[in-house]
Amino acid sequence: MQRLLSSYHAIPPDATVRLAKKTSNLFRARARSEAPGLDVSGLTGVISVDPAARTADVAGMCTYEDLVDATLPYGLAPLVVPQLKTITLGGAVTGLGIESTSFRNGLPHESVLEIDVLTGSGEIVTATPDGDHADLFWGFPNSYGTLGYSTRLRIALEPVKPFVALRHLRFDDLAELQAAMDRIASERSHDGIAVDYLDGTVFSATESYLTLGTQTDERGPVSDYTGQQIYYRSMQHVSTTHPKTDRLTIHDYLWRWDTDWFWCSRAFGAQHPRIRRLWPKRYRRSSFYWKLIALDQKYDIGDRLERRKGNPPRERVVQDVEVPIERTADFVHWFLREIPIEPLWLCPLRLREPGPTGASAARPWPLYPLEPKRTYVNIGFWSSVPIVAGQPEGAANRLIEHTVSDFEGHKSLYSDSYYTKEEFDVLYGGERFRELKQRYDPDSRLLDLYSKAVQRK
């Protein structure tokens, strides 16, 4: 910890503090700085696992891959395990995360019991739900490092069984999928069988799936989607009356999306059968695809190839949004008409219950104010669309932002954003953020949230 503090104080007072790290799970461009970055190399790894209390103490830069490796031997897992192995605990809390347990366990920051934060004022404080720094505890999620950086997190764990049995339910109508998802998320069961995991995939307006996962001790054959088979293709089938079934180990279920970065590996040819056979297995993971993305951004490879084909450059449309579950079918229909991207990922979520009591109960997480006791659906889409001549920069993303707001939704801030300052303040707790900023970063050593998420430098 002393190395961290020394690194912080070595950064010139007039320079913005930034992490000294080469990789990121953010899709928005990061500003360059000549000042040294904050040395967080000592903040990796799992500090301890308490199987009796079902908790883990974890360094802020620990990846979920390392955490899962430490907890599964005890038959335990984090309440929410974001889809990609290199997402860090600190990143998922300060930048939000989600997965197929979110319909019953909420978002990753809701399983945090206490958190140590290196604040913008250069001190490390411990934030708990009702302590001296409770305001920071509740305000830290969705702050993206603008209030401070987590150094240690204590999180709750839950028991898990060795295997997950899957049922892929097909729908030819999005309204029917929405109704089924709403019912299953509320009842946590389907056809008399418990549902522990729930997410969905939309291939078109007439082909979509809900995937229901149930933990089980029953041994038997399991599938492997780290080799030649592709997970998201495995769910496709014809019947709307007979679900397709599958089985995975709990480890492989948690990382089912990482091998092909959902479906994004197809952009690199990794899903072509001939190329896939030659693609080294150790490079079939999201962290390697990130390196390819970084090369594309650095050398403008994609747009150069499009120009050679006589095509216009493309706008990156990589977003996760949340809309109320009752608006999901309408939003997806709108999206499929207006934005030529498929597939889409659906993940229902609901803030955990019982939630906090007192003044914060109505909006417990002020920088990302979802309503308690209301079910939302995260809709993820990650691709690009042709740029139309004469349109403003980010035209497709701007249209999506405005439509999400019209649907009473929210958008995650890990990618490109175009909100005005006034729009941003309404959506992301502007006044509350300023109060927290004044207390924990009075000299503005860290970027402002709007500057970090929207403004380009």
Long-range contacts of 46-54 (CB under 8 A, 24+ apart): 46/70, 47/152, 49/74, 49/76, 49/157, 51/76, 54/156, 54/157, 54/158, 54/159
Q: Does the CA dihedral 52-55-59-65 come out positive or negative?
A: positive
pLDDT at 358: 54
**How far apart are the C-alpha atoms of 291 and 402, rounded to whole Å?**
31
Per CATH, domain 163-256 is 3.30.70: yes
2-160 placed in CATH 3.30.465.10: yes
Residue 20 confidence (pLDDT) = 65
178: nearest Cα among 223, 210, 150: 210
134 three-class SS:
helix
* pLDDT single digits (tens) 189-228: 999 999 999 999 999 999 999 999 999 999 999 999 999 9
CB 237 within 8 A of CB 208: no
Contacts of 326 by beta carbon, 8 Å cutoff, 6+ apart: 178, 182
Distance CA 310, CA 291 (A): 27
Q: Are 395 and 172 in contact (CB under 8 A)?
A: no
Q: How many Cα atoms sit within 13 Å of 302 on the Cβ side?
A: 19
pLDDT reported for residue 311? 87
Q: Under 8 Å CB-to-CB from 308, ≥6 apart: which residues?
A: none
Greatest alpha-carbon pair distance for the chain in Å reads 64
Three-class DSSP category at 261: coil
How many Å apart are CA 413 and CA 432, to the nearest integer? 17
Is the bond preceding 243 in cis, omega lying within 30 degrees of 0? no
Tokens of 29: 């461009």
pLDDT of residue 360: 63
Q: Where do the H-state alpha helices sit in 268-376? A: 273-278, 286-299, 301-308, 328-338
Q: Which residues of the chain have pLDDT under 70?
A: 20-36, 355-363, 456-457
Tokens of 35: 């000042």
pLDDT the model gives residue 35: 60
How many Cα atoms within 13 Å fall on the side-chain side of residue 401?
19
Which tokens hold the place of 270? Answer: 């990794």
Q: What is the pLDDT of residue 455?
A: 75
Cα–Cα distance, 175 to 157 (Å, whole number): 35
Domain boundaries, given as residue ranges, for the chain: 2-160, 163-256
